[in-house]
Structure 1
């Protein structure tokens, strides 16, 4: 395999990973900042208050964006990886 094909496929795979992780990471960031602000304003320092809502929000976003994630992975596999594996 040529180096250019390898690095181009690696770059595409990393970009797909960023696209797939972006919804989950953004909702975790927003939930963390919101809960941190709430804790700072109310002086409540409960550990479960930060963990449970963040995980719940991430589960909801994962459930909603699951079709987008699997669609992107299947598209990457069929368009980029299968032709390389097949030798074309």
Structure 2
């Protein structure tokens, strides 16, 4: 394996990890901002109020996007990594 090929595969792997994590991170951000705004408007400073809705939103988005994540990782592994491991 040459050095440019190694860096290309590494770049593709990092890009795929960014694409896969984007839905969960964006929903966590939106839920956190929404709950923070609600807390600021109502002066309710309960710690579990920030944790539970964010966790629920993350679990729901993970459940919905689990198929996309799995297909993306399997495609990267079978199309890119297996031929390199096999020596192709």
How far apart, in 1, do the equivalents of 2:85 and 2:46 lie?
Answer: 51
Aligned-residue Cα RMSD (Å) equals: 0.4
What TM-score do you get using the length of structure 2 for normalisation? 0.99
What TM-score do you get using the length of structure 1 for normalisation? 0.99
Point out where structure 2 has 5 or more consecutive residues left out of the alignment: none
Give CA deviations for 1:25-79 in whole Å, capped at 9, x if unaligned.
0000000000000000000000000000000000000000000000000000011
How far apart, in 2, do the equivalents of 1:26 and 1:17 lie?
Answer: 14
How far apart, in 2, do the equivalents of 1:31 and 1:73 lie?
Answer: 26
Instruction: State the partner residue of 2:4.
Output: 4
The number of aligned residues is: 88
How far apart, in 2, do the equivalents of 1:24 and 1:63 lie?
Answer: 10
